[in-house]
Structure 1
Amino acid sequence: MIENKDMGQPKQFLLVLLSVVFLFLTYNLVTAIMHYKKVNSKRWTPAELYNELLIDPVIEMPENAKKTKNERLLFHVALTATDAPYSKWQCRIMYYWYKKTKNLPGSEMGKFTRVLHSGSPDNLMDEIPTFVVDPLPPGLDRGYVVLNRPWAFVQWLEKATIEEEYILMGEPDHIFINPLPNLARGGYPAAFPFFYIKPTEHEKIIRKYYPEEKGPVTNVDPIGNSPVIIKKDLLEKIVPTWMNVSLQMKNDPETDNTFGWVLEMYAYAVASAFHGVQHILRKDFMLQPPWDTETGKKFILHYTYGCDYNMKGELTYGKFGEWRFDKRSYLRGPPPRNLSLPPPGVPESVVTLVKMVNEATANIPDWDTK
């Protein structure tokens, strides 16, 4: 009898455990069904359906920050730029696709501004809405021209009249591939998570600018300033700190050597955390060919990486391909119209990039002369 009783105890425990698991699975199944019925109880636009079903992995959307039915929260599209030919042709392509997607269903894009930090107007003033600001004093950027970005935003926010409550910080090499809704909600800006921004792996350096009393290093989001959609009043608080931290980082040899060309991105992430601002991380915000192979339901195509392939359609990254598209091939002037399409087997995202560049260049007047 004693032996049988001892053998029965594991069985009883197993039955209890299975009951708990069953209840847990039943609860989640019922919850999922209720959510599915809610989503399918009315007609949704594709953008609304996608946002409703998306579960954010970092910050769950607060109930009081969700949009009400039919509410539109317009954001101003802003990017910083120079008057160099390399910057100009990218801005022209970006503005072309902004105009094509701005008024499509699901878009919440408002007005557009190219914040030109050359200190003087250029020959695109009549083509692209532009606000001219001053560059940093000579020598202060130490050859790192991106340091002008936070300083440009400081001046623009102080001097410009901006009607929208939200702002999208973009870059010249962004192409809008789908209508972009406002992904931010109240005090929660939306940002794209970059795999190479790793604050927790650089805690010693981060602590130089984000002291322990401000909170854990995990408060520093793995982001840069672009793409980010953020309330204007929040950005006005962050931008001066972003500028100061950028300059401090550049003047610190250890930080400069460690962060290199992404230094200004780290500075924005640190400045945001310093002001207690954390971002909703949206992987669907952007794709980056050639690593992202499908455009899907993403919103911005960022062509920062070179795309090199052999004629078999195989990626030859780090080595010039038999077929290639790299924005750095056109430092002194714009790419020609009607670029050749990539060979068969190249990912859809790269094909889409070339087709969108070709469409823009075919429809922009004086493409070869500005």
Structure 2
Amino acid sequence: MARKNLGCSSSSSFLVLLAVGSFFATYNLITLVVHNRTVNHAKYTFDPLVVMPDNVKRTGGKKVLFHVALTATDAPYSKWQCRIMYYWYKKTRDMEGSEMGKFTRILHSGQPDNLMDEIPTFVVDPLPSGLDRGYIVLNRPWAFVQWLERVTIEEEYILMAEPDHIFVNPLPNLARGEYPAGFPFFYIKPDENENIIRKYYPKEKGPVTNIDPIGNSPVIIRKDILEKIAPTWMNVSLRMKDDPETDKKFGWVLEMYAYAVASALHGVQHILRKDFMLQPPWDLEIGYRFIIHYTYGCDYNMKGELTYGKIGEWRFDKRSHLRGPPPRNISMPPPGVPESVRTLVKMVNEATANIPGWDAT
């Protein structure tokens, strides 16, 4: 990837101004010229699991590659997840059906770490000290703003991913033109939080149902659309964190709401793909889904019964390994545990068995 000539692009200068403006104490929402789209749903028919207008479905033709990008820190907890994620990216990238392009770990710790030679990495600055108020995820939109500004990305599309994602099936480009693809999270409910949402999404923009029930990841989005959304996403995140009511209500998913609101402010609607991702232990089977997201702990007794909320006789929980990587060859779960959990453990074990110097993460 080559660096852009920052002095030659008025749009680049505009993004820089937007980014710098976010650090003032007022955290005012950036006012941008947005051409809102009015979608006449009567024109469209929908797939059972995919909200996708027929007129933007793609049939045949050459691959439309997307760049895989994830934000990360230099903490051991982040590093070992990134190593597993990158291992499975390499395994599935060239499989039939995949449209994955190149890969970048956007490291927002401000300095290189010991994975620079193993994983393609671009280093960006963290937010100024204290601005994230201990909510490290606030660095994510700022990291994307910097990366998009400084780097020439060959692919037209970008997948925003996270370290705790594992590619379980080859991932095609699920986006269609101006319609990005996202995963609908059951706990992102803009319509049930209208009194808060209206602080950031005024009535003149339309109903809160314009806001998709998504976060920024996983999302496959056209690069030029993300370049417009990212500075707004950053500023909305900062404003939400600065508002005690919003911060208390949205908690750890605040930045997800901020991305959803920022997208709606730009008139961007997402194709909602339930098959984009599965989340053990709640999703039981792999099927034709593409990404395993292992954010939840998996606790079972030796009868194979889920004991969620109580530490199980057998467990796999990424948070058990905050200070260093999990050991190689984790024991398999007992009989009766769902396919999704068994597959997750098998894939973690395969990666750790084949990544050199695993214990040194």
TM-score range, shorter chain: 0.7 to 0.9
Aligned residue in 2 for 1:101? 92
Distance 2:98 2:51 in 1: 23
1:55 aligns with 2:47: yes
Q: In 1, are the aligned partners of 2:168 and 2:292 still within 8 Å (CA)? A: yes
Aligned residue in 2 for 1:253? 244
Aligned residue in 2 for 1:127? 118
Distance 2:110 2:246 in 1: 29
Taking only the aligned residue pairs, the percentage that are identical comes to 82
Aligned residue in 2 for 1:367? 358
Q: 1:275 aligns with which of 266, 272, 287?
A: 266
> Which of the two has higher C-alpha Rg?
1
Distance 1:262 1:214 in 2: 23
Q: TM-score scaled to structure 2, two decimals?
A: 0.86
Distance 2:49 2:245 in 1: 32
Q: 2:138 aligns with which of 141, 144, 147?
A: 147
Q: In 2, are the aligned partners of 1:287 and 1:302 still within 8 Å (CA)? A: yes
What letter matches 1:125 in structure 2? M
Q: In 2, are the aligned partners of 1:56 and 1:282 still within 8 Å (CA)? A: no
Runs of 4+ in 1 over 6 A off after TM superposition: none
Q: In 2, are the aligned partners of 1:56 and 1:281 still within 8 Å (CA)? A: no
Per the TM alignment, residue 61 of structure 1 is displaced from its structure 2 partner at its CA by: 2.0
Encode CA deviations 1:5-27: one digit per residue, 9 max, x unaligned: xxxxxxxxxxxxxxxxxxxxxxx
Per the TM alignment, residue 72 of structure 1 is displaced from its structure 2 partner at its CA by: 1.1
1:217 aligns with 2:208: yes
**Compared with structure 1, are the counterparts of its residues 312 and 356 closer, same or farther at alpha carbon in structure 2 (3 Å cutoff)?**
same
Q: 1:244 aligns with which of 227, 235, 244?
A: 235
Q: 1:353 aligns with which of 335, 344, 353?
A: 344
Greater share of helix: 1
What letter matches 2:201 in structure 1? Y
Aligned residue in 2 for 1:83? 74
1:187 aligns with 2:174: no
Q: Secondary structure, in 3 states, of the residue corresponding to 2:360?
A: coil
Aligned residue in 2 for 1:297? 288
Per the TM alignment, residue 369 of structure 1 is displaced from its structure 2 partner at its CA by: 1.2
Distance 2:181 2:136 in 1: 25
Q: In 2, are the aligned partners of 1:56 and 1:280 still within 8 Å (CA)? A: no
Encode CA deviations 1:30-54: one digit per residue, 9 max, x unaligned: xxxxxxxxxxxxxxxxxxxxxxx98
Q: Secondary structure, in 3 states, of the residue corresponding to 2:68?
A: strand
Aligned residue runs from structure 1 range 163-178, under 5 A: 163-178=154-169
Distance 2:253 2:351 in 1: 29
Per the TM alignment, residue 91 of structure 1 is displaced from its structure 2 partner at its CA by: 0.1
Gaps of 5+ in 1: 1-52
Distance 2:159 2:272 in 1: 14
Q: Secondary structure, in 3 states, of the residue corresponding to 1:164?
A: coil
Per chain length, whose mean CA-contact separation is higher, i.e. which structure has more relative contact order (CA < 8 Å, sep 6+)? 2
1:344 aligns with 2:335: yes
Aligned residue in 1 for 2:323? 332
Per the TM alignment, residue 58 of structure 1 is displaced from its structure 2 partner at its CA by: 6.7
Distance 1:73 1:62 in 2: 18
Encode CA deviations 1:89-127: one digit per residue, 9 max, x unaligned: 000000000000000000000000000001000000000
1:319 aligns with 2:310: yes
Aligned residue runs from structure 1 range 20-59, under 5 A: 55=47, 59=51
What letter matches 1:86 in structure 2? Y
Distance 1:60 1:330 in 2: 39
What letter matches 1:109 in structure 2? M
Q: In 2, are the aligned partners of 1:313 and 1:343 still within 8 Å (CA)? A: yes
Give the paired residue count. Answer: 317
What letter matches 2:339 in structure 1? E
Distance 1:349 1:259 in 2: 28
Q: TM-score scaled to structure 1, two decimals?
A: 0.84
What letter matches 2:193 in structure 1? H
Q: Secondary structure, in 3 states, of the residue corresponding to 1:368?
A: helix
Per the TM alignment, residue 56 of structure 1 is displaced from its structure 2 partner at its CA by: 5.1
Distance 1:258 1:149 in 2: 20
Distance 2:180 2:154 in 1: 18
Distance 1:358 1:321 in 2: 20
What letter matches 1:240 in structure 2? P
